[in-house]
Amino acid sequence: MAIDDHMAKLTAHSRAAMTFHELGRGVEIFCSQHGVPLPFEIEPIRAGRNSQVSKLSHGDGRWILKKYVQSGGTQHDRLGTEFSFLAFLNGAGVVGIPRPLGMERVMHCGLYSFLPGNRPDAIAAKHISQAASFIRTINGLRQQSAALSLPLAADACFSWQDHLELTEIRVSRLMVMKLDFAVELDAYAFITNQLLPLWSSVKAELFQEIPPMELTQPLPWAERILSPSDFGFHNTLEHQGCLSFVDFEYAGWDDPAKLICDFLCQPELPVTAKQGWQFTRELLENWPCADSVIKRIDKLLPVHRLKWCCILLNEFIPEDRERRLHAGIKSEGLLAAQLSKAKSYFKVHLAPLT
């Protein structure tokens, strides 16, 4: 069986898992209970790689409906995380974010207010300033009792060892990928010949620079940050020059160095080195222990670059591929496209380190 035929079968299987259309009357009842008049139109939106996202339209307004993938086990609660984080921010008067309107656990659906706008076409200094200002705004709420009850971010890191283990897990997952097709063999060769040797080198260098006693020393609570996680311009909408921020499925408490590293590493709408420094400088202005954060960023950026190169290969892991297909990502040529992106990312950001 050809790889595209195999992927097409996976797509059909994924779509068999309760789409909005199949939920039908249940969705109508849920949405109408939370202020959406009947009848409304449902239009799929190509946004989100882990959820089905649709725009609801009626003469009285527009809304966003998300159906989150749910695989059971210890899977991260994307619906609960996003809904509760947005509820906290809205309750505190933060603007430029969706309002959470309703949550339905059985169907794994969340209903949100609609935000106008589109992703920025090109990133400029004004966008960087708005992004930094948003993070500073939500962290002005850190001391509120409701903030202290928010969960840790998905994949939160509070020690040097946490950061290293996060990338180690990503690399290890790829080492057990299936090798049924030529594109998978090509990806495996790329991982073993390029990613693994560099990862070993990066780890060895960090182990030399960080005293063993410091590797597992936890970051004090006062130095932790409220993070949207997965924060970058791929999760923004621009309308009349102003940015809105969406997608808080992984939000919570985290290391500010991780938030900044992830912002610098984002592959979808990347920032330049100059823009990355602007974001870091504006975010950390008058920040407690800013020098310590910058030190961690400097040493950990290669670790997170490698992590993001692995993330670009997520589709080679069956569970992650299923989640993409559930969200409506096309199957045809998916693996080859992601491998090409990963190789390009490595060449630009990681090959100079070898």
> Burial level of 165, CB count in 10 A (0-12/13-18/19+)?
middle
Does the structure show a pLDDT above 50 at 7? no
Residue 23, domain member (yes or no): no
Give the model confidence (pLDDT) of 214-228 as tens digits. Answer: 999 999 999 999 999
CA 186 from centroid of its chain's CA atoms: 26
Residue 204 resides in a domain: yes
> If DSSP codes are grouped into helix, strand and coil, which group holds residue 172?
helix
Structure tokens at 187: 């990806």
List the CATH number of the domain containing 245.
Answer: 3.90.1200.10
* Residue 312 domain-assigned (yes or no): yes
Range of the domain at 298: 3-15+116-353
Confidence of residue 76 (pLDDT cuts 50, 70, 90): confident
233 Cβ partners below 8 Å, 6+ apart? Answer: 119, 120, 123, 127, 131, 266, 268, 269, 271
Helix or strand holding residue 42 (H, E)? strand 41-45
Q: Could you tell me the two tokens for 70?
A: 């749910």
Going by pLDDT thresholds of 50, 70 and 90, the confidence category of residue 288 is: confident
Handedness of CA 90, 95, 98, 101 (dihedral sign): positive
Distance CA 87, CA 102 (A): 10
pLDDT of the residue at 45: 87
138, 68 Cβ separation under 8 angstroms: no
Tell me, yes or no, whether 82 lies in a domain: no
Q: Return the pLDDT at 113.
A: 98
Evaluate the CA torsion angle 157, 119, 343, 12 in order and state its sign. positive
Q: Quote the crossing angle between the two packed helices 182-190 and 334-345, to the nearest 10°.
A: 20
Whether the pLDDT of residue 136 is over 70: the answer is yes
Give the separation between CA 12 and CA 331, rounded to whole angstroms. Answer: 10
Question: How many residues belong to the chain?
Answer: 354
Tell me the mean pLDDT in the region 66-78. Answer: 75
**Residue 308 resides in a domain:** yes
Strands (E) across 46-202 are located at 51-58, 61-68, 100-104, 109-113
Enter the DSSP assignment of 252.
E
Domain membership flag for residue 97:
no
pLDDT at 1 over 70: no
pLDDT digits (tens, 9 = 90+) for 310-342: 999 999 987 766 665 555 555 668 899 999 999
Q: Binning pLDDT at 50, 70 and 90, where does residue 17 land?
A: very low
Tokens representing 305 are 């670059």
Instruction: List the end-to-end C-alpha distance of the chain, in Å, as a whole number.
Output: 38
pLDDT confidence of residue 328: 54
- CB–CB of 278/264 below 8 Å? no
What is d(CA 67, CA 125) in angstroms, rounded to the nearest whole number?
Answer: 34
State whether residue 336 is helix, strand or coil: helix
Tell me if 254 sits within 8 A of 227, measured CB to CB: yes
Output the six-digit token pair for 249.
């499925």
Using alpha carbons, select from 313, 316, 298 the residue that is nearest to residue 346: 313
By the 8 A CB rule, do 142 and 220 touch? no
Domain annotation covers residue 337:
yes
Number of domains in the chain: 1
Predicted TM-score of the model (pTM): 0.89
Residue burial 263-284, b: 16+ Cβ < 10 Å; e: rest? bbbbbebbbeeebbebbbebbb
Instruction: Please count the CA atoms within 13 angstroms of the CA of 178 that sit on its side-chain side.
Output: 11
Q: Is residue 92 part of a domain?
A: no
